[in-house]
Amino acid sequence: MKQALIISGIFHVSLLVFAAMDIPWFDQVENVEMEIIPVEMVDISEVTRTFEIAKEPEPLREKPKPPERQPQRVDNLPPPPPRMPSTMPLPKQTAEAPAEKPKPPLQRAEAPRVTPKSKPRPPSRLDLAALRNLVPERSLEERIADKLGPQEQRATSLDVQRQTMTISAAIRKKIEDQCWNPPVGADTSESLRVTVQVFLAPTGELARPPVAEDYARMNGFLKVAADSALRAVRMCAPYNDINLPKDMYDQWKEIKMNFDPSDMVS
Amino acid sequence: MRMLKILIVSLFGFIAATLSAHAVIEIDITRGNIQPLPIAITPFVGSDQQMTTNGSVADIGAQIAQVVTADLERSGLFNAIDPRAFINSGNVAAGPQFANWRAVGAQALVTGTTVLEEDGRVRVEFRLWDVLAGSQMTGLRYYTAPQNWRRIAHLISDAIYKRLTGEDGYFDTRIVYISESGPYLERIKRLAIMDQDGYNHKFLTDGSYMILNPRFSPTSQEITYLSFYNDTPRVYLFNIDTGKSEMLGEFEGMTFAPRFSPDGKKVIMSKAEQGNSDIFVMELSTRRVERLTTHSAIDTSPSYSPFGRYITFNSDRGGSQQLYVMDADGSNVKRISFGDGRYSTPVWSPRGDLIAFTKQTGGKFYIGVMRPDGTGERILTESYFEEGPTWSPNGRVLMFYRKYPYDNNGGGGDTQLWSIDLTGYNERQILTPLDGSDPAWSPLMD
């Protein structure tokens, strides 16, 4: 019975985690700040600004500091300091510790008090390593989320989405305007949609040759369409003239491009 | 407890998978710029020392490259890079230096060799390269008598065209047409044939009698045409290979506008009796004639659909000359053209998707295409007098003739052959020794 309850609990939690991460509208339905989207999504230069915006809330989080009584408690309660270590690399971002270790809010309040002190650093590294081992790969989205409180996390995931969309739009524009010469002779009744996997190096060059899905089995018009898509990807390389944010490399190192000339061929 | 562990592990796996799925950006590319593909065609490499009846194999190699260049450029789909821009002509044995070809903007590259064989034939090889990918796209080898080098060049053009566009080519084809000369009222009309690029021109008749409406068989090197031999208009069959002609039969009245069925076994034509004309079909093996239309209006210019199931023709049964489609047995007649003006000479595309026609309205003539159901009418060319479209075997290019009349009744003037592709932008004149009219495109040669 107990085991069943635990299993059921895990399933429910996983369902919520999945919904929060994978269903965009789930996120948006709850998010009251919908107005932000139209304002900030359009401009490419926001790639850099979004970080500044994300950091702004930090000062607010430090408000809990004022209670001056608490600092004294620090001395009385040695256990909390070990937790601080995780925040040490980024001294000002006191909120990190709670985000990484879901502990009672009480400890969060204590954390800020300790930050000014540099002594606790050494023990902190041990904890960091341990944490990294626990979470092998963390996306940028997560890392930014860690630095922020729960309210900002939603906004950050939107920012990442926006940046991803900005990158997509820029690459799409470059290929459509400068590089793709769609096949013209095709029989319009045949679908000529071709999917190409593009692998980019951090420099914006092709890390390895682009691959058209099912190329080996293609022939006739479809193969010609795939050739034109591959030519376009190669022609446009390197992509370093597009402002590809280096810290988001994980997001754009592999790109899936769907070439569909059906609107062009008549 | 074990189950619990499994569950936790699978949960982490699930989350990791969804996170990594997020990492791939997906982009839909739906627009582009349709432009001629930049292609570099190097002279085929051969020895100056190996002499043939048509010069050295080096000369033949250079000429083949020129013919391939002209073929591909004429299609409008390729932009041949000027050989003077080449950084190197390519050491064929070592393989192309792709960086050099990328530097001159080439996206495709053609290299080749010509070698004289011991039996006197010439061996021609070519390779088509994808410059950006640095890989070979296709490569073929041909053997031929030296004097046939031009045909080999057209075959190479077809192979390149097919690999880069997906469509069959149309360069290894011929055109029959009516060669015209003499004054306006005493025009001498002779049947003539040439390669699609105007070379290897030959007259097939001597001009002592008039020839009209030549049409190629879609399956063999045979032509049907209307001859006024002995001042009587009759439909004839002419075999290009043997040079022999035969009359298709005696008909009462006047027969004209003959055209082969797609299998080459029948000839469909119109026959006029007492001022009215209807459509008939003759089976060539039995010479049996079947009447397909019976109408008091003038029905003429019949043309089969590619699989022979339907026939398009023009008729004034609706009050003005318009295009109609019917089943191959003459039933189920439907009008398909409803625009302003008069429509004539409908020809079904070998691909089956379009019908080409001549349209006359507002004092001008137009060549256009529409779908077999009459929708999607598109005008491709216009002038003060042009008609008689004929399709290239791949259904991508139309040839027709254009006249520059001296007077308002369309009399006199130069008559020329022109071609236009389906985009409507690539319009070119086909040069003929004399005036030319009524062209007919052959199928690809065997």
**DSSP track, B229-240:** GGG--EEEEEET
Q: Residue B301 — very low, low, confident or very high, per pLDDT cuts 50/70/90?
A: very high
Q: Residue A22 — very low, low, confident or very high, per pLDDT cuts 50/70/90?
A: low
Q: Is B346 helix (H, G, I), strand (E, B) or coil?
A: strand
According to the per-residue pLDDT averaged within each range, which of A105-119, B210-224, B318-332 is highest? B318-332
Which of B3, B29, B37 lies at the smallest CB-CB distance from A257?
B29
Q: Given this model, what pLDDT does residue A107 score?
A: 42
- Model confidence at A89: pLDDT above 70: no
Q: Does B16 contact A258 at a Cβ distance shorter than 8 Å? A: no
The mean pLDDT of B408-420, rounded to a whole number, is 81
Nearest chain A Cα distance for residue B396, angstroms: 8
Strands B322-327 and B334-335: antiparallel
Q: Residue A7 — very low, low, confident or very high, per pLDDT cuts 50/70/90?
A: confident
Nearest chain A Cα distance for residue B63, angstroms: 28
The mean pLDDT of B61-84, rounded to a whole number, is 93
Closest residue in A to B395 (Cα) is: A185
**Mean pLDDT taken over chain A:** 65
Nearest chain B Cα distance for residue A201, angstroms: 14
Q: Residue A122 — very low, low, confident or very high, per pLDDT cuts 50/70/90?
A: very low
**Mean pLDDT taken over chain B:** 88
Q: Does B19 contact A187 at a Cβ distance shorter than 8 Å? A: no
Q: Given this model, what pLDDT does residue A76 score?
A: 44
Q: Residue A20 — very low, low, confident or very high, per pLDDT cuts 50/70/90?
A: low
The mean pLDDT of B419-439, rounded to a whole number, is 91
Contact B113, B127 (CB under 8 A): no
The mean pLDDT of B405-422, rounded to a whole number, is 80
Q: Residue A144 — very low, low, confident or very high, per pLDDT cuts 50/70/90?
A: low
- Model confidence at B122: pLDDT above 60: yes
Closest residue in B to A233 (Cα) is: B132
Which of A221, A230, A254 lies at the smallest CB-CB distance from B24?
A254
Q: Is B41 helix (H, G, I), strand (E, B) or coil?
A: strand
Nearest chain B Cα distance for residue A98, angstroms: 21
Residue B431 is given by DSSP the state P
Residue A2: Cβ-neighbour burial (10 angstroms; 0-12, 13-18, 19+)? exposed
Q: Tens digits of per-residue pLDDT, B141-198?
A: 999 999 999 999 999 999 999 999 988 999 999 999 999 998 877 888 999 999 999 9
Chain B contact set for A250 (CB, 8 A): 23
Closest residue in A to B167 (Cα) is: A185
Q: Given this model, what pLDDT does residue B296 score?
A: 87
Q: Given this model, what pLDDT does residue A180 score?
A: 93
Interface test with B, best of A3, A181, A222 (most B CBs within 10 A): A181
Q: Given this model, what pLDDT does residue B337 score?
A: 93
CA atoms within 13 A on the CB side of B50: 20
Give the span between the Cα atoms of A78 and A73, in whole angstroms: 9
Q: Given this model, what pLDDT does residue A262 score?
A: 83
Give the span between the Cα atoms of B230 and B209, in whole angstroms: 8
List own/partner pairs for B57-61 with CB under 8 A and 24 or more apart. B57/B114, B57/B115, B57/B116, B57/B122, B58/B114, B60/B114, B60/B122, B60/B124, B60/B146, B60/B149, B61/B112, B61/B113, B61/B114, B61/B124
Q: Residue A195 — very low, low, confident or very high, per pLDDT cuts 50/70/90?
A: very high
Residue indicated by tokens 């009462």: B252
What is the full DSSP assignment across B59-109?
Answer: HHHHHHHHHHHHHHHHTTSEEEPPGGG-S----TTT---HHHHHHTT-SEE
Interface contacts (A, B; CB < 8 Å): 140
Which of A21, A230, A253 lies at the smallest CB-CB distance from B133?
A230
Q: Residue B231 — very low, low, confident or very high, per pLDDT cuts 50/70/90?
A: confident
Q: Residue B6 — very low, low, confident or very high, per pLDDT cuts 50/70/90?
A: low
Nearest chain A Cα distance for residue B173, angstroms: 19
Closest residue in A to B353 (Cα) is: A187
Q: Given this model, what pLDDT does residue A35 score?
A: 39
- Model confidence at B100: pLDDT above 70: yes
Residue B2: Cβ-neighbour burial (10 angstroms; 0-12, 13-18, 19+)? exposed
- Of A43-47, A231-235, B310-314, B385-389, the range with the lowest mean pLDDT is A43-47
Closest Cα to residue B445, out of B120, B222, B114, B140?
A: B222
Q: Residue B106 — very low, low, confident or very high, per pLDDT cuts 50/70/90?
A: very high
Q: Given this model, what pLDDT does residue B206 score?
A: 87
Q: Given this model, what pLDDT does residue B9 score?
A: 62
Q: Does B7 contact A257 at a Cβ distance shorter than 8 Å? A: no
Nearest chain B Cα distance for residue A76, angstroms: 38
- Model confidence at B218: pLDDT above 70: yes
Give the span between the Cα atoms of B118 and B97, in whole angstroms: 32
Of all residues in chain B, the percent with pLDDT exceeding 70 is 91
- Of A187-191, B95-99, B101-105, B347-351, the range with the lowest mean pLDDT is A187-191
Residue indicated by tokens 């318009």: B322
Closest Cα to residue A195, out of B2, B361, B26?
A: B26
Interface test with B, best of A222, A227, A249 (most B CBs within 10 A): A227
Nearest chain A Cα distance for residue B167, angstroms: 7
Chain B contact set for A254 (CB, 8 A): 23-25
Closest Cα to residue A222, out of A181, A177, A187?
A: A187
Q: Given this model, what pLDDT does residue A112 score?
A: 39
Q: Does A17 contact B15 at a Cβ distance shorter than 8 Å? A: yes
Give the span between the Cα atoms of B204 and B216, in whole angstroms: 14
Q: Given this model, what pLDDT does residue B423 score?
A: 84
Q: Given this model, what pLDDT does residue B274 score?
A: 79
| Prior bond of B38 cis (ω within 30°) | no
Residue indicated by tokens 């989405």: A161
Q: Given this model, what pLDDT does residue B11 score?
A: 61
Q: Is B31 on the interface with A (CB under 8 A)?
A: yes
Which of A167, A254, A264 lies at the smallest CB-CB distance from B32?
A264
- Model confidence at A56: pLDDT above 70: no
Closest Cα to residue B321, out of B354, B291, B296, B297?
A: B297
CA atoms within 13 A on the CB side of B83: 13
Chain A contact set for B25 (CB, 8 A): 164, 167-168, 171, 251-252, 254-256
- Of A100-109, A130-139, B14-23, B28-37, the range with the lowest mean pLDDT is A100-109
The mean pLDDT of B211-218, rounded to a whole number, is 88
Q: Tens digits of per-residue pLDDT, A145-191?
A: 555 555 555 556 777 788 888 888 999 999 999 999 988 766 656 78
Contact B25, A245 (CB under 8 A): no
Which of B23, B31, B137 lies at the smallest CB-CB distance from A250?
B23
Chain B contact set for A182 (CB, 8 A): 32, 34
Q: Given this model, what pLDDT does residue A63 score?
A: 41
Closest residue in B to A249 (Cα) is: B23
ipTM: 0.81
- Model confidence at A36: pLDDT above 90: no
Q: Residue A120 — very low, low, confident or very high, per pLDDT cuts 50/70/90?
A: very low
Angle at A70 between CA A68 and CA A75, to 5 degrees: 120
Which of A17, A220, A264 lies at the smallest CB-CB distance from B34?
A264
Q: Does A167 contact B25 at a Cβ distance shorter than 8 Å? A: yes
Q: Given this model, what pLDDT does residue A152 score?
A: 54
The mean pLDDT of B307-332, rounded to a whole number, is 93
Q: Does B107 contact A257 at a Cβ distance shorter than 8 Å? A: no
Which of B22, B27, B137 lies at the smallest CB-CB distance from A168?
B27
Q: Tens digits of per-residue pLDDT, B350-374?
A: 999 999 999 999 989 999 999 999 9
Nearest chain B Cα distance for residue A156, angstroms: 15
Q: Given this model, what pLDDT does residue A126 score?
A: 44
